[in-house]
């Protein structure tokens, strides 16, 4: 688990071999890599302003991806909204997931997926939780990313 007591958030990470950068409670990141060019990258970033509706916030994130990815020679696939729970007793969270298509991924036989969830803390902080998977393994990545990003929750007091 990665958590920020100052930020008031926590998230469960898939696996143990993460390189984490958590010196700033408003902007944490982590990376797990294989020697085959595969990676999982996590970021949790505080945002100053965001739509009140979680769904509108996720729509805004997807629109941002549609604008920025082509500048990097990539494009997002169709958005999928996945509803998940970290545990049977935790609240449901909506997670945005989309595949990223780029010639380099095809050339290297990689698939890339990005997932996003939004977190509002009890103190009023708003965070964008992002997990990307660039990988060869054939899994239902929408469900995998949905599962882990649904665990990006406010810390219990």
Say how far apart CA 47 and CA 98 lie, in whole Å: 21
**Mean pLDDT, residues 101-107 taken together:** 94
What 3-state class would DSSP assign to 27? strand
Residue 144 lies in a domain: yes
Residue 21 lies in a domain: no
**Mean pLDDT, residues 128-150 taken together:** 91
Chain mean position to CA 18: 15
Say how far apart CA 133 and CA 29 lie, in whole Å: 14
Number of domains present in the structure of the chain: 1
Residue 11 lies in a domain: no
**Mean pLDDT, residues 80-94 taken together:** 89
pLDDT at 16 (0 to 100) = 82
Residue 3 lies in a domain: no
DSSP-assigned letters across all residues of 39-80: EEEEEEEE-S---SSHHHHHHHHHHHHHHHGGGGT-EE---E
Q: Which domain holds residue 136?
A: 28-152
Residue 148 lies in a domain: yes
Say how far apart CA 73 and CA 1 lie, in whole Å: 34
What pTM value is reported for the model? 0.91
pLDDT at 94 (0 to 100) = 95
Mean per-residue pLDDT over the chain, rounded = 91
CATH number of the domain residue 132 falls in:
3.40.1000
Say how far apart CA 157 and CA 64 lie, in whole Å: 34
Residue 139 lies in a domain: yes
What's the pLDDT band for 157 if we cut at 50, 70, 90? low
Tens-digit pLDDT profile for residues 63-73: 999 999 999 99
Residue 43 lies in a domain: yes
Say how far apart CA 38 and CA 61 lie, in whole Å: 24
């Amino acid at each position: 688990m990665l958590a920020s007591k100052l930020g008031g958030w926590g998230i469960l990470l898939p696996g143990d071999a993460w390189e984490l950068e958590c010196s700033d409670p408003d902007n944490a990141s982590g990376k797990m890599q294989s020697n085959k060019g595969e990676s999982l990258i996590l970021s949790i970033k505080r945002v100053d302003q965001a739509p009140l509706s979680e769904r509108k916030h996720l729509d805004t994130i997807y629109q941002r991806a549609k604008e920025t990815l082509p500048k990097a020679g990539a494009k997002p696939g169709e958005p999928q909204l996945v509803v998940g729970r970290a545990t049977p007793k935790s609240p449901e969270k909506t997670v945005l997931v989309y595949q990223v298509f780029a010639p380099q991924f095809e050339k290297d036989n990689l698939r890339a997926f990005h997932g996003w969830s939004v977190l509002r803390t009890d103190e009023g902080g708003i965070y964008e939780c992002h997990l990307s998977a660039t990988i060869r393994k054939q899994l239902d990545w929408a469900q995998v990313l949905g599962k882990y990003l649904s665990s990006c929750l406010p810390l219990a007091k």
